[in-house]
Amino acid sequence: MTAVEPRAAAGTREQLVRALTGLGSLQARDGGAVTVRIPAGALEQAAHAAAGTSGVRLADMFAADGDVTVLRLVWAYETDKPGYIITESEIEGEEYPPLSDIAPAAFVEECEIYEQFGIRPAGGKPLNRLMLPPHAGTELPTLGHEPSRPPEEVHAPYTVGGQAFEFPFGPVRQVGVESLYYGLVTSGEEVVDLYLFTWHKHRGVEWRLRGKTVSEAIFLAERAEGLSAVAVGWAFAAAAEAALGIAPAPAALRTRAVALELERLYNHAAATAALCQATGLSVGQAAAEIALERLLRVNAASFGHRYLFGVVEPGGVSRAPDADALRRELPGAYDELRRTTDALLGTNSFVDRLEACGILTAEQARRLGLVGPVARATGLATDARLAAAAGPYADHPVNVITAAGGDVFARFQVMLGETAESVRLIRQFLDEGTGADRTLVPPRASTGLGWAESSRGEVLAWVALDSGGRITRARLRPGSARNWRGFDDACRSQNVFTDIPIIEASFWLTVAGMAR
Amino acid sequence: MPLWFARGLRRGVVTTRYPARPDGSAVALPTPPAFRPLLLTREIVDRMIAQCPGTALSRAADTLVFDVGSCTACGRCARVAPHAVTPSGEFELAATTRSALIKMVPILGERR
Amino acid sequence: MTPGPDEATTAERLRAQIAAQFGRSLHIRTLDTGSCAVCEQEIRLLSAPHYDLHRLGFFFTPAPRHADLLLVAGPMVRAFEVAARKAYEAMPGPKVVVATGACALGGVYQADPFMHGEVEAVLPVDVWIPGCPPSPLALLHGLSVAVGRLAEKVPGLAFVADENGGGA
């Protein structure tokens, strides 16, 4: 089940950094992130260099406003001392090089940047609506400048003997799920195309964080995607810490890691319950929900909150876990989950529904820059916990679980392997000792990148602080914001309507993480 | 399917009897704070208001106005004044009027 | 600030009406107006074995025509307003709106260009359930209050601690 990507020759990361620095100038180097300033004229060449290097993936792209709009690309370097390379370029006019032609993983971000900053890739490629509702005028603030023309609606052209029709579904959907609008293109049963609109829930979190201190902002940041509160909170806190030069105490970082693995555990249990519900296996769903409830109670017993809100703080953590309660309660809760999932693996009618459903290939995952179990189920060994230069995951390396096949069953297998790994890691962190420290330093004008591996994949955060320590630009990129673009492809590969909820459960994303 | 049927029977009943009987798991839930008026001063209350990430706390002269409906039980006010704040232990907070969730707490500590 | 006399009489009348009409069984439709996704997870657990809302005569329904109660989470993002009104108007009367969670009650976000900041800005709310998120137990309590099966507790709570540290 475990496949490992072949490692590139040692020193390739440095070669890429040198190549990029040759096109521009090195700005900063801290922890696992290198920032290189690239003049706009050399950006296309830089993108080719990065996208063409084996083991490099475009992890995020965003802009920031100032005297001039600055465009930043975050490249994840995944072999030989994994880390991140940020290229930043000042964009003077309305256009920048057509980056999604070079790295298709940039397309959704190009749409977002156009809506928020009014700059677009050269070449006139149509951009889709993302965060702004169709009826929004000037009443919705942007992070920069409004686009000169509203975005168009362009989706994959479809023909099925002239019989296909478009079926809008949502945003209010079935019971107890988030609002989400599907544009389903179908010839009756088969999914010809599926596109999503998330603007109904767009809350403008990045806009709202401006002017706040990082201590004020973490409350909203962890609620950007509440089911990944620890991961998003950690990435955001780590971005502020990188900016200010804070190294939280090792015991505090182990506390964070315990919380992060507990978050992974309960999310995978919830995904299991959702898979059972989607396949109509009510008893399996009930059994998985019993395990999920027990895991949430373990969270409450150890950290005082069922969803682990309020644990991560900039500089450290607010409290240490109740280690005795955790050691006492977790084995039984995990056992409950394990017995349920073992029984599920032995239930043919369940497994049959998952196999060959919602297939994504490794090439699709790589091209779209997917992360988390969705990517690992195609065989890609990508995991943000590997990019730890120091800290609990450097001291206790993670066994990255991958699978082949890229279908729903492969994603389920990856999640199961990860739950066992999470329990193992929690034991190790507790044995080494957890603490409740916060390290604070005087504020200064600075920028920094932070990351964490949520249950749904890599979370990235980037902050720019002024001299008073207040946020001038906060970028939050939860795993969901990366992976929803793979959902369309997964649903399109020879699936029917009833497969859609199964595929959605196997992705286990949130709309909130996209519409933050 | 016999596998699942047998599993279910063996597992037994986990269902709560709430609300007919109290549920023991409630003690581990985070709850809104209760305040000690004799240990509140204007200065302490103003510091708590500054730390509250939402709109749960405000002050009108010598009264702490506590909006339970806006409270997320984050605990920041308790960290400002650990002796003046304690968990209320109350989770049955549903109200049929919004005003029933606004509480007035007198500030009776010594003025500085 | 306790409810005024008019408010209290109306509330009492509504409770009696609801108890008469919804006493046996109640069908619940859920609505997400922009939540962080955690309130929905607690709501889903209402039908899980630990909580089993069915034993209390509560049922979930995706069909607005069958629904008696609209359980609303999230801070009412403005872009969602049309969908929220449609969901409410699609439900035949009598109907009850329950706002759940600090976001829905106005505690997390204030009114700004993106959102109203509370459900009550758009829909008439009958019951408010505090929490972030409200746990399934708190939701069961709130639903029981909404159908008049339980009396509310919070009007009688002062959130003042006594010398021994007890709450209420």
pLDDT of residue A16: 85
In a domain, C74, yes or no: yes
The answer to whether the Cβ–Cβ distance between B103 and C145 falls below 8 Å is no
Distances (CA, A) of A195 to A185, A191, A411, A508: 8, 11, 22, 17
Where is average pLDDT lowest: A80-84, A113-117, C14-18?
C14-18
Mutate to test the interface with B, among A205, A216, A219 (most CBs of B within 10 A): A219
Domain residues for the domain of C116 are 25-148
What CATH number does the domain containing C126 carry? 3.40.50.12280
pLDDT of residue A157: 54
Closest residue in A to C102 (Cα–Cα): A223
Residue C1 has pLDDT above 80, yes or no: no
Distances (CA, A) of A305 to A87, A177, A364, C32, C134: 39, 22, 38, 22, 11
Mean of pLDDT values over A303-319: 97
User: What are the chain A neighbours of B25 within 8 Å (beta carbons)?
Assistant: 297, 300
In a domain, B18, yes or no: no
User: What are the chain A neighbours of C54 within 8 Å (beta carbons)?
Assistant: none
Mean of pLDDT values over C126-131: 97
Strands (E), A398-484: 446-454, 457-465, 471-477
Min Cα–Cα distance to chain C from B82, Å: 12
The answer to whether the Cβ–Cβ distance between A171 and C40 falls below 8 Å is no
User: Between residues A79 and A411, which one has the greater pLDDT?
Assistant: A411
Residue A158 has pLDDT above 60, yes or no: no
User: Between residues A497 and B97, which one has the greater pLDDT?
Assistant: B97
The answer to whether the Cβ–Cβ distance between A175 and C62 falls below 8 Å is yes
User: What are the chain C neighbours of A172 within 8 Å (beta carbons)?
Assistant: 31-32, 83, 86-87
| Rounded CA separation C111/A270 (Å) | 33
In a domain, B86, yes or no: yes
Domain residues for the domain of B74 are 29-106
Q: Which residues contact A328 (CB under 8 A, 6 or more apart)?
A: none
User: What are the chain A neighbours of C55 within 8 Å (beta carbons)?
Assistant: none
pLDDT of residue A161: 59
pLDDT (tens digit per residue) in A47-63: 999 988 888 999 999 99
Residue C153 has pLDDT above 80, yes or no: yes
Min Cα–Cα distance to chain A from C35, Å: 7
The H-or-E segment that residue A330 falls in is: helix A323-345
Q: Of C3, C102, C138, which is closest to B97 when you measure between CB atoms?
A: C3
User: What are the chain C neighbours of A206 within 8 Å (beta carbons)?
Assistant: none
In a domain, B95, yes or no: yes
Sheet with C58-60, side-by-side order of all strands: C58-60, C26-32, C69-73, C96-100, C127-129
In a domain, B75, yes or no: yes
Min Cα–Cα distance to chain B from C141, Å: 6
Residue A154 has pLDDT above 80, yes or no: no
A56's tokens: 């490099």
In a domain, C15, yes or no: no
Mean of pLDDT values over C114-138: 97
pLDDT (tens digit per residue) in A408-461: 999 999 999 999 999 999 999 999 999 998 998 899 999 999 999 999 999 999
Min Cα–Cα distance to chain A from B68, Å: 18
pLDDT (tens digit per residue) in A320-375: 999 999 999 999 999 999 999 999 999 999 999 999 999 999 999 999 999 999 99
Q: Where are the alpha helices (DSSP H) in chain B?
A: 2-11, 42-51, 76-80
Assign A7 a pLDDT band (cuts: 50, 70, 90).
Answer: very low
Contact A179, A198 (CB under 8 A): no
The answer to whether the Cβ–Cβ distance between B36 and C160 falls below 8 Å is yes
What CATH number does the domain containing B42 carry? 3.30.70.3270
Rounded to 10°, the helix A408-432/A250-278 angle is: 150
In a domain, C156, yes or no: no
Q: Of B14, B18, B94, which is closest to C152 when you measure between CB atoms?
A: B94
Closest residue in A to B24 (Cα–Cα): A297
Min Cα–Cα distance to chain C from B38, Å: 10
pLDDT of residue B5: 78
pLDDT of residue A162: 64
pLDDT of residue A167: 80
Sheet with A165-169, side-by-side order of all strands: A165-169, A181-186, A191-197
The answer to whether the Cβ–Cβ distance between A202 and C79 falls below 8 Å is yes
The answer to whether the Cβ–Cβ distance between C168 and B89 falls below 8 Å is yes
Contact A185, A158 (CB under 8 A): yes
Write out residues 9-38 of C within 8 Å (CB-CB) of B. Answer: 11, 14-15
Assign A8 a pLDDT band (cuts: 50, 70, 90).
Answer: very low
For A356-387, the DSSP string reads TSS---HHHHHHHT--HHHHHTTT----GGGG
In a domain, B22, yes or no: no
B25 touches chain A (CB under 8 A): yes
Q: Of A287, A300, A310, which is closest to B28 when you measure between CB atoms?
A: A300
Q: Of C126, C150, C154, which is closest to B100 when you measure between CB atoms?
A: C154
pLDDT (tens digit per residue) in C67-93: 999 999 999 999 999 999 999 999 998
Longest distance between any two alpha carbons in chain B, whole Å? 72
Mean of pLDDT values over B32-60: 96
For A236-275, the DSSP string reads HHHHHHHHHT----HHHHHHHHHHHHHHHHHHHHHHHHHH
A141 touches chain C (CB under 8 A): yes
The answer to whether the Cβ–Cβ distance between C130 and B101 falls below 8 Å is yes
A306 touches chain C (CB under 8 A): yes
Q: How many CA atoms lie within 13 A of A201 on its CB side?
A: 29
Contact A485, A368 (CB under 8 A): yes
Longest distance between any two alpha carbons in chain C, whole Å? 52
> How many distinct structural domains can be found in chain C?
1
In a domain, C1, yes or no: no
Min Cα–Cα distance to chain B from A70, Å: 31
C142 touches chain B (CB under 8 A): yes
The answer to whether the Cβ–Cβ distance between C37 and A270 falls below 8 Å is no
Closest residue in A to C40 (Cα–Cα): A176
C153 touches chain B (CB under 8 A): yes
Q: Of A219, A310, A343, which is closest to B3 when you measure between CB atoms?
A: A343
Where is average pLDDT lowest: A100-104, A140-144, A260-264?
A140-144
A394 touches chain B (CB under 8 A): no
Q: Where are the alpha helices (DSSP H) in A387-449?
A: 392-395, 408-432
| Rounded CA separation A90/A35 (Å) | 14
* A183 bridge partner residues: A168, A195
| Rounded CA separation A368/B60 (Å) | 54
Give chain A's domains with CATH numbers: 12-121 (3.30.460.80), 205-514 (1.10.645.10)
pLDDT of residue C166: 46
At residue C33, φ and ψ (nearest 5 deg) are -100, 20
Q: Which residues contact B101 (CB under 8 A, 6 or more apart)?
A: B67, B68, B69, B93, B95, C105, C128, C130, C154
| Rounded CA separation A275/A382 (Å) | 24
Mutate to test the interface with B, among C1, C55, C118, C143 (most CBs of B within 10 A): C1
Contact C32, C128 (CB under 8 A): no
The answer to whether the Cβ–Cβ distance between B100 and C152 falls below 8 Å is yes
> How many distinct structural domains can be found in chain B?
1
C52's tokens: 């089993």
In a domain, B51, yes or no: yes
pLDDT of residue A64: 94
Q: Of B7, B30, B54, which is closest to A305 when you measure between CB atoms?
A: B30
Min Cα–Cα distance to chain A from C70, Å: 11
Assign A192 a pLDDT band (cuts: 50, 70, 90).
Answer: confident
As to burial, measured by CB atoms within 10 angstroms (0-12 exposed, 13-18 middle, 19+ buried), residue C112 is: middle
| Rounded CA separation A269/A291 (Å) | 7
A271 touches chain C (CB under 8 A): no
In a domain, C132, yes or no: yes
Mean of pLDDT values over B87-100: 97
Strand A33-37 with A83-91, pairing: parallel
In a domain, B45, yes or no: yes
User: What are the chain A neighbours of C116 within 8 Å (beta carbons)?
Assistant: none
Question: What single DSSP character describes residue B16?
Answer: -
Q: Of C31, C35, C114, which is closest to A512 when you measure between CB atoms?
A: C35
In a domain, B11, yes or no: no
A289 touches chain C (CB under 8 A): yes
Mutate to test the interface with C, among B31, B96, B101 (most CBs of C within 10 A): B96
As to burial, measured by CB atoms within 10 angstroms (0-12 exposed, 13-18 middle, 19+ buried), residue A237 is: buried
pLDDT of residue C165: 47
Give percent above pLDDT 70 in chain C.
88
Where is average pLDDT lowest: A21-30, A199-208, A450-459, C44-53?
A21-30
Mutate to test the interface with B, among A289, A293, A309, A329 (most CBs of B within 10 A): A309
Mean of pLDDT values over B104-111: 88
Strand C26-32 with C69-73, pairing: parallel
A100's tokens: 């999604």
